[in-house]
Each structure stands twice: as C-alpha cells, then as structure tokens.
Structure 1
Amino acid sequence: MTVERDFPDSLPYELRQPADQRIPFVFNSPHSGQSYPAAFLKQSQLDPHTIRRSEDCFVDQLFAAAVMLGAPLMVAHFPRAYLDVNREPYELDAKMFLEPLPSYANGNSARVAGGLGTIPRLVGEGQEIYAQKLHLDEALGRINNIYKPYHAVLGDVLVATRKRFGYGVLVDCHSMPTGIRFPESGMRPDFIIGDRFGTSCTPELANAAIHLLREMGYVVAHNKPYAGGYITEHYGRPLKCFHALQIEVNRGLYLNEHNYERKPGFEQLQRDIGLFLADLVSLPDFHFLDTPLAAE
C-alpha cells in the first residue's frame, strides 16, 4: 500500500487551521472520512453502500465551528473501515492475514475480538469487509504511511497548544448509531460525553460539557456506553496538562442511516453544536494551570 496508490488526487487527512489559534482547544474527527480507495473497494466483498456503516457521517461538518472559534480541527478523509486511528497502532487480527503477526502486535484486545482493530474486519452489525485474507504488508503500509503520520500531526499540534497556552484540550468528535439506548430506561441519549471514567481530563471539563448540553435540552449520558477510545486515553494526560474529552452525537438527530443523507434537522444541530462549543471554550480554566507540567 502507498498513499499515492490509494489517495492519488487528495491527502488522506488534513489539519484545518484558524488564521490564529486563539484558544487552547484542538478538535479531531477521525471517523468521518468518505474517500474510499479503489484498491480497497476491490479487496472488499461489501457494496459501496454497506461498507459505509462504520462512518461518522458529516461529524467534521457538525463541529466546523471549532475553526471559526480559533481552534485547529483534524479531519480524516480515509474511512474508518479502511483504517482506524482510534486504536493502538498494531491492534491486528491474526485471522485476517496470510502471514503471522509481528511480535509487537496486540492481537488479543477486546476491540480485535469484536472485529474492530486498527485494520477493521467488520462494519456495522457484524458484516465482514474482506472476501479473502490480506497480506500483512497491506496493513503495515496503512499504519506506517497514514496512521503514524496522522498521530504525529495531532500530537505536534497538541504540544504546540500546550506550549502556547500552558495546557491543551483535545475534543475527539464521533457519532453513534440511532439505536443506542440507556439500559435502565430505554431512552435514547442525544450525546455521550466520555472522559475514560475521570482519567483523561479534569472533572470540571466533562461536567461543564454535560451541563451545557443539558441546558440546551439534550439528553446526555456520561461514559456509558462510550467512555472514549484510544485517542482519548492516549492523549488525555492531566498531570502533563493535556486533557482529552470524547463527544458522541446520536446519528438519529441528523442522519438517515439507510441512505446516509442529512435529515432536515442537520443545520439546527450544527448551529446548536456551534453554540455549545462557543460556551465550552469560553468557560474558566478549570484550574488546569494549578497542575505543574510534568517532565517530558
């Protein structure tokens, strides 16, 4: 696999930058990519419609106000079905490959067992992506040429943010299927705020996000069933003044999941998210700066 082969006419990801970064926030949309490489589609046994079941459709557009507010927004153009950067770099399923996995691969994680490793095996409700096993070099090529550079850019902009403001806040932006329900009541959450059960950011940040969304009339859950993936866990280091928060938006608010078209409520939700972000980034500093920088 090469970037030139799979993305000959565009970059697989981009960092959308404001003219001047005015706030210590960085936003990330790792699953909203819609550029499906031709070679990848040939490898897949799924039709071009079904293979989109894992997309966080239009999430980068829902959070576009972040750039206008003065924050960078990292956006994946490659699809999640092709490569998932919200995983460890080598969460690989041995059953998918013709060659044995390298010793450094993590083939035993719960995400791999569920078919959702770095190179996913499944989309949607258990639909197998590939008709045949892949060569391991295909996976390693995607990891070396896209996954690692993606995280290098994201890590660099977070370090630059902390250097400039004294701390950095990463907001990882996702969507969830319409059918997600609270197990106790059966009610559908509109948003889920994840902070890895209080480990990836200061509690004030998560609580403020929940409060602001509820004040807008939305039903909001905290950490269940989504507490944050690899990105939230990896970059959320409060003792080093890096805070990470995951936001899940229910697709039922804005998307027809059968044809992947926006619902009439898309623009209103986009405006509401813009207002929510404006309020969130203008709140006090949550005592972030009371924590001294740890040694690098």
Structure 2
Amino acid sequence: MSPVTVVRGTSPIVLAQPHSGTFVPADICAKLTERGAMLADTDWHIPQLYDGLVPQATVVRAEFNRYVIDANRPPDGASLYPGQNTTGLVPLVDFENRPLWHEEPDENEIARRREAFHAPYHAALRAELDRVRAAHGFAVLYDCHSIRSRLPFLFQGTLPDLNIGTNGGATCGQAIERAAAIACANGPYSYVVNGRFRGGWTTRHYGHPGKNIHAIQMEIAQSTYLQSEETPFTFSPDKAADLRDTLAEIFDGIESTFGDLT
C-alpha cells in the first residue's frame, strides 16, 4: 500500500488528512498491545466527513495510522506543546496515557518509519501546495482533524466542538481565520480559536502568509459526527449531515477571502 493518497483538484484549497489512516504493517502491528491494536486515537471517518464539501479541492491523505508514525509531528520529535501532555512522533502511549507497545521502537526503527511514511507524506503535501500556489498565486492548506471530546490526559473537561488553530494567527491571513470563526459562530456548535489545539506541525511548518501559503487546522470533537466515541467508532450520517452544513459555511467563508489573497 502506498503511504499517501493524493487526489488532485483545481481549487486553491488543499485538504490535508494526516490522521485518518488505519494501515499498520504486520511487523509493526505484532508489537502493539491489545489496546494499541484498537487504533483508538485515529481521526475516524475524516475522508467521509469531508467528501465533496469542496468539489475541486486537492486531498493529501496519509494511509498509515498515527501509531506507525505521526505525520503531524516534527520529524525531529520536538514537542508542539511544551509543558503539556501530548504524544510524540511515534507515540508510546495513547490519548489515555496507556502503553501502546509490547516492544517500543528504538531510534533506528523510528528513523526507518520516518523515511518510509513521514517523509513521503510531506513530500506529497509540499508538492501539491507548490503546484496549487503556482496555479493560483496562493494556496490554502486546511488540515483536517478530529478527536474524542473528553480526554483528561490531554485537556480538562469537554473539548469545544470546533477548534480552529492558526498558531495565534501566524499561519494564515487574518481574513481567513476571521471567516472561519464567523462561520462557526453562525452554527449550532461550540468553538474556540487557538485554544488547546493551536495547529500541529503541518499548520506551523507550511503556513507562511508572506510566502502565499495560508494554513489553518480544524480539530473537531468526534461527538459531533460519530454515533459513539467508543469502539467501533461508527459514523453517524444524521449528525454528520448537520456538521457538514457548518463545514460548508466555513469553506464558503474561506473562499470569500480569495480575492484579497492574490
């Protein structure tokens, strides 16, 4: 299986999907604990949730699971949130602080996975951003994420439904952040801008408005579109339909800013 799938479109929008993959090579899967083999921290059904919302968007999707290696972490493994609980480049514990491995990967194994999975994903993403920017004069990277709404190891209480991350406004033009926030405010969901999730490595690494690449992360509480936030993490078409209405408004708002980006 190829580690990354690319669907090319003609829109200025690139949808990055680094955490929706469920592929784990057999040799790696054999080292996972029973808990780890559940892949509970996957961004479940993200491709289905976003399918068709931006018909001509380019999609760059990691097919490998984040337990293999996390495509939204810096390749050197530096923490994105110093002083806060988080998981690393190759996570050793899950989002409930439970061990993932019978045999933890050593530095050589992490380097092997970085070359086989992390690097190809980001090479593909960089290539598509460069292609889209060349075609339009700018590119908008929208990083698609979701997470369970209650995870005490990572954050207190219940996460807002929609979590916009721009690293304090540094990764995209103010008009894009504002348009996304207005669309969220007009909908039925709770939201926050640059709260617990301010944008991962993808958003921070590629988002350079001065270089005409704007990046924004959307972290969605899975309670908004799953039947239950427990295995088997079943998709809820009814919940998702309502959520897709709000997501469509977000994209409409982002697209309304394009005239100011050229």
Name the TM-score, length of structure 1 as normaliser.
0.79
Q: 1:228 to 1:126 in 2, by over 3 A?
A: same
Give per-residue Cα distances to partners, 1:187-230, cap 9 Å, x unaligned: 75210111100100111101101111221222211110110011
Q: Which residue in 1 is equivalent to 2:238?
A: 265
> 3-state DSSP class of the match of 2:39?
helix
Give per-residue Cα distances to partners, 1:84-124, cap 9 Å, x unaligned: 01111121xxxxxxxxxxxxxx5x77579846111111112
One of 78, 83, 93 as aligned partner of 2:69: 83
Q: How does 1:215-294 map to 2 (within 5 A)?
A: 215-255=186-226, 256-259=228-231, 260-269=233-242, 271-273=244-246, 275-285=248-258, 287-289=260-262
> 3-state DSSP class of the match of 2:258?
coil
Q: Aligned letter for 2:92?
A: R
Maintained 8 Å contact 1:31/1:79: yes
Give the deviation of 1:47 after TM superposition: 3.9
1:64 aligns to 2:35 (yes or no): no
> 3-state DSSP class of the match of 2:30?
helix
Give the deviation of 1:82 after TM superposition: 1.3
Maintained 8 Å contact 2:180/2:253: yes
Moved more, 128-137 or 171-180: 128-137
1:43 aligns to 2:16 (yes or no): no
1:210 aligns to 2:181 (yes or no): yes
Q: Aligned letter for 2:114?
A: I
Maintained 8 Å contact 2:93/2:99: yes
Maintained 8 Å contact 1:190/1:250: yes
Q: 1:80 to 1:112 in 2, by over 3 A?
A: farther
Give the deviation of 1:253 after TM superposition: 1.0
Maintained 8 Å contact 2:80/2:201: no
Give per-residue Cα distances to partners, 1:7-51, cap 9 Å, x unaligned: xxx222201223xx1x211111100111222211211123465x4
Name the TM-score, length of structure 2 as normaliser.
0.88
Q: Which residue in 2 is equivalent to 1:97?
A: none
Sequence identity (%): 27
Give the deviation of 1:63 after TM superposition: 1.3
Q: 1:71 to 1:151 in 2, by over 3 A?
A: same
How many residues in Structure 1 have an aligned counterpart in Structure 2? 258
Equivalents in 2 of 1:109, 1:246: separation in Å? 14
> 3-state DSSP class of the match of 1:53?
coil
One of 41, 44, 56 as aligned partner of 1:54: 41
Q: 1:238 to 1:202 in 2, by over 3 A?
A: same
Equivalents in 1 of 2:247, 2:188: separation in Å? 15
Maintained 8 Å contact 1:24/1:162: yes
Q: 1:109 to 1:222 in 2, by over 3 A?
A: closer
Equivalents in 2 of 1:90, 1:188: separation in Å? 28
Give the deviation of 1:67 after TM superposition: 5.2
Q: Which residue in 2 is equivalent to 1:74?
A: 60
Q: Aligned letter for 1:122?
A: V
Structure 2: 5+ residue stretches without partners:
none
Q: 1:80 to 1:192 in 2, by over 3 A?
A: same
Maintained 8 Å contact 1:87/1:118: yes
Structure 1: 5+ residue stretches without partners:
1-9, 92-105, 290-296
Larger radius of gyration: 1
Give per-residue Cα distances to partners, 1:225-248, cap 9 Å, x unaligned: 110011110000011111100001
> After TM superposition, what 4+ stretches of structure 1 lie above 6 angstroms from structure 2?
none
